[in-house]
Structure 1
């Protein structure tokens, strides 16, 4: 199966389910993140990362439901690993770092915490809480940390039940251009 068809099936299937206490589905959340990235003039790779950032909720030993019950599902890592079959680090690294970016922003910008949804506040604690100064320093040394921070901000905004966005087929050309760029 074409990997983009496989990803599209995730959006249409599991993606149509509730998004862990938010007012949108998982697919709507990811479409909104991709759309917000595109609207901000992001690169194709960062649009793809924003669109695909939560696919790890569908892959891995621990589901998103278990995350909401207090077990870290490390969806950023499992999603990045799975996407690495078809996409390069400009896509997969911001995905891998988007949870760390939430922890980073809570440490680097104390006012950021007040912008988190109730579900994000809960998962922040499950995922380790705000970073320590040493963790902030290590995070800022990551080559894709700035992209991950941008993705995180779109992730936080992408929970608007009133925001209509295009669906998967709209983003397919972007993903097609990037597919196979694993170097």
Structure 2
């Protein structure tokens, strides 16, 4: 198995997390955590994103694999704050180009609900449920502040891949396909 040249644990840690918990269901969706991550990363790769953003797409929901809450936690009124858990875990392993879009992907959903007509209606029911726990649509001042952030564009791109990455049975490359992107994006 390939590893990052000067930090062999980074790639191995990612692969191990997906091996251990990737088969768990992605909330109330019909795909697993691994399928969801692979679909998002595949979309990013197909659109020519740089390795850091492809890795962010692959790992944007890694926080779901870092807690012991049940898959239906949002249905029980619990926000698992997976974006923060994921960002904390990624912080020592990857640079801001990976970390920040992951940290901001929930904020991006809140932003798009506030600014894009029809976005809310297109969300899946589980995504609408979690949005209510995550603060709902942003207000005008939150939107303005969000747009000024240096990772605004990357976070919104990631959010769109996240929304599309819920297709049952969609063929994607295997996890190992993304190892070169993990290696390229890892903190040096």
Q: 1:140 aligns with which of 142, 147, 169?
A: 147
Query: Do structure 1's residue 151 and structure 2's residue 158 form an aligned pair?
Result: yes
Q: CA deviation at 1:162?
A: 3.1
Q: 1:169 aligns with which of 169, 172, 176?
A: 176
The answer for the alignment partner of 2:132 in structure 1 is 125
Query: Do structure 1's residue 4 and structure 2's residue 11 form an aligned pair?
Result: yes
Question: Contact 1:64/1:73 (CA < 8 Å) preserved in 2?
Answer: no
- Give the match's secondary structure for 2:76: coil
Count residues with an aligned counterpart: 181
Question: Contact 1:57/1:63 (CA < 8 Å) preserved in 2?
Answer: no
Structure 1 residues 12 and 81: alpha-carbon distance in aligned structure 2, compared to 1, 3 A threshold: same
Give the gaps of 5 or more residues in structure 1. Answer: none
Question: Contact 1:61/1:73 (CA < 8 Å) preserved in 2?
Answer: no
Question: Contact 2:44/2:57 (CA < 8 Å) preserved in 1?
Answer: yes
1:1-183 → structure 2 map (5 Å cutoff)? 2-60=9-67, 65-181=72-188
The answer for the alignment partner of 2:5 in structure 1 is none
- Give the match's secondary structure for 1:100: helix
Q: Between 4-13 and 128-137, report the one with greater CA deviation.
A: 4-13
Give the gaps of 5 or more residues in structure 2. Answer: 1-7
Listed one character per residue, the Cα deviations across residues 43-94 of structure 1 (whole Å, up to 9, x for unaligned) are 1111010000000112257565423422112111110111111100000000
- Give the match's secondary structure for 2:110: helix
**TM-score, normalised by the number of residues in structure 1:** 0.93
Question: Contact 1:20/1:119 (CA < 8 Å) preserved in 2?
Answer: yes
Question: Contact 2:63/2:86 (CA < 8 Å) preserved in 1?
Answer: yes
Question: Contact 2:87/2:99 (CA < 8 Å) preserved in 1?
Answer: yes
Q: Distance in 2 between matches of 1:75 and 1:89?
A: 17
